[in-house]
Amino acid sequence: MVLDRALIFLYEQVLEIELDDIGPLDRADRPKRLPTVLSREEVRQLFAALSPGPNRLTAHLLYGSGLRLSEALRLRVKELDVGTSRLHVWDGKGGTDRTTVLPERLHGPLRRHLKTVKAQHEADCADGVGGVYLPDAIAEKYPTAKTEWRWQYVFPSTTLSEDPRSGAVRRHHRSDSAVQRAVKKAADATDIEKRATCHTLRHSFATHRLQDGTDVRTIQKLLAHEQLRTTMQYVHVLEQSDDGVTSPLDTLPEDPT
């Protein structure tokens, strides 16, 4: 199956859904564009412009752990291992499981955030709406798990909603559009001229890890790329940005400007 270039643009540039692991599907005339990567200073500016709260904490995880936005929003309490500074992603893109790094800088903010989330969960349970969505196999095997704290979303929605499949009223996870809007608003408030999105933070995680000496195979595992060539794009980003080439204008003995 061949993907049209316009369809690829729609998914990756408009909907911000990466098609980097599409397996047997082939891209038609795939443009050789490298991913947009922010500098560390640009990442700092973006975070500084984000208002404190769940959206900023989510953005921190996208950059600090290399998560996709959908993976961050679907995180459950039991998947955070503060003791080992690890974060577990179950049933990620392509149905894969993986473990990635949990930044030590986020230990405190996450604890404070989860304290608020737990209070909300306990209030929901008292009101009879504290059951979270669970995959069918788990829901059938562990009927009471839906109200257990460890199964709750790390980033629950601010509102209750009715599950269209079961009719149950429950608190789902936050919507991706809310985080995307917050990141766009923050980027617009900075001097960043690049197109900074949620997925740009994941690209930046990979590139900065490579800059710091992490080998490309480890990056592949952290990002859950099926193909190594997908991860190699970040090597190409580094090669392009640090190729040692200078302008002859800078070699003139006097400043011609």
First-last CA distance in the chain: 54
Residue 53 region by backbone torsions, left for phi larger than 0, else alpha for psi between -120 and 50, else beta: left
56, 170, 174, 234: which is the annotated catalytic residue? 234
Pair 171, 124: CB distance under 8 Å = yes
Q: How far apart are CA 173 and CA 6, in angstroms?
A: 31
| Token pair listed for 135 | 């995959």
Q: Which of 86, 93, 98, 113 is catalytic?
A: 93
User: Catalytic one among 60, 74, 174, 202?
Assistant: 202
Active site residue: 68, 170, 208, 209, which one? 68
How many Å separate Cα 252 from the centre of its chain? 45
DSSP structure string for 227-247: SHHHHHHHHHHHHHHTS----
Place of tokens 């404070």: 112
Q: Is 203 a catalytic residue?
A: no
Q: Is 199 a catalytic residue?
A: yes
Partnered with residue 162 across adjacent β-strands are 169
For residue 94, give the DSSP letter: G
Give the active site residue among 60, 173, 199, 203.
Answer: 199
Task: Tell me, yes or no, if 118 is annotated catalytic.
Answer: no
Is 107 marked active-site?
A: no
Residues marked active site are found at 68, 93, 199, 202, 225, 234
